[in-house]
């Protein structure tokens, strides 16, 4: 069975290689997908000799760059942003496959003990004891703010909260010397040096950012874009996504 599976995967990758003519694709994507996309881009290059040039930033920044005229071949962002870009004629209308989703998790400095946040009540108890709590000013951070409301501790924690850019959430933690916690997308929390991953938001408190991939209207490599998008939804790629915190 393992041999058959290996042969099928090899055949699939050879099919991708045989249909891809481009030597380079510029892909603009949301920063939380960075750790996974970097590995997937390397795998794709090895199998097809196509270089994937990743430009990563928060989805709102990616959208602004495209609206301002920055050239690229395809974009990987949240569906709402794709809808807005489609209305502006910036991306090609058509199928928009969901390539993955990321949840929200918590982290502290690597020299701090691991806290149990496996239930809403344990999460609440842990958060009440923090010295600083940092989370971003965009969608995942705004969602987490509603979680604090649901837990009934938003007002208690207000003096301890630091709102930052998506990648700035770790600075208050790394520079702190107490019970400092960052809340962000799981792939970023898991892969940031010096940060101990505490775990995901438990149960129905969890929220997800969903991502889709579409070619830009200005691309000169439409067929290559579509081939890479198919690769992003292949079983081998799904395994790489899952290993890097993307469901």
* 55-94 pLDDT per residue, tens: 998 888 899 999 999 999 999 999 999 999 999 999 987 7
Whichever domain contains 117, its CATH number is 3.40.190.10
Identify whether 4 is part of a domain. no
Range of the domain at 116: 104-205
* 216-227 pLDDT per residue, tens: 999 999 999 999
Identify whether 2 is part of a domain. no
pTM, full prediction: 0.79
What pairs with residue 200 in β-bridges?
105
Domain identity same for 111 and 90: no
């Amino acid at each position: 069975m393992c041999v058959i599976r290996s042969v099928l995967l090899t055949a699939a990758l050879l099919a991708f290689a045989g249909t891809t003519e481009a030597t380079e694709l510029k892909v603009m994507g949301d920063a939380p997908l960075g750790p996974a996309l970097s590995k997937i881009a390397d795998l794709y290059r090895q199998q097809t000799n196509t270089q994937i040039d990743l430009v990563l930033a928060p989805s709102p920044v990616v959208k602004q760059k495209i609206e301002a005229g920055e050239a690229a071949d395809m974009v990987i962002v949240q569906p709402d942003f794709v809808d807005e870009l489609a209305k502006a004629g910036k991306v090609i209308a058509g199928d928009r496959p969901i390539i993955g989703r990321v949840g929200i998790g918590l982290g502290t400095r690597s020299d701090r003990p691991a806290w149990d946040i496996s239930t809403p009540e344990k999460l609440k108890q842990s958060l009440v004891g923090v010295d600083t709590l940092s989370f971003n000013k965009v969608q995942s951070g705004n969602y987490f703010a509603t979680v604090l409301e649901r837990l009934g501790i938003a007002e208690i924690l207000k003096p301890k909260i630091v709102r930052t850019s998506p990648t700035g959430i770790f600075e208050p933690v790394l520079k702190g010397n107490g019970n400092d916690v960052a809340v962000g997308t799981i792939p970023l929390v898991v892969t940031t040096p010096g940060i101990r991953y505490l775990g995901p938001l438990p149960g129905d408190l969890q929220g997800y950012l969903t991502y889709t991939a579409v070619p830009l209207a200005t691309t000169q490599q439409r067929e290559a874009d579509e081939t890479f998008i198919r690769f992003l939804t292949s079983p081998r790629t799904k395994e790489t996504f899952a290993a890097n915190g993307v469901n």
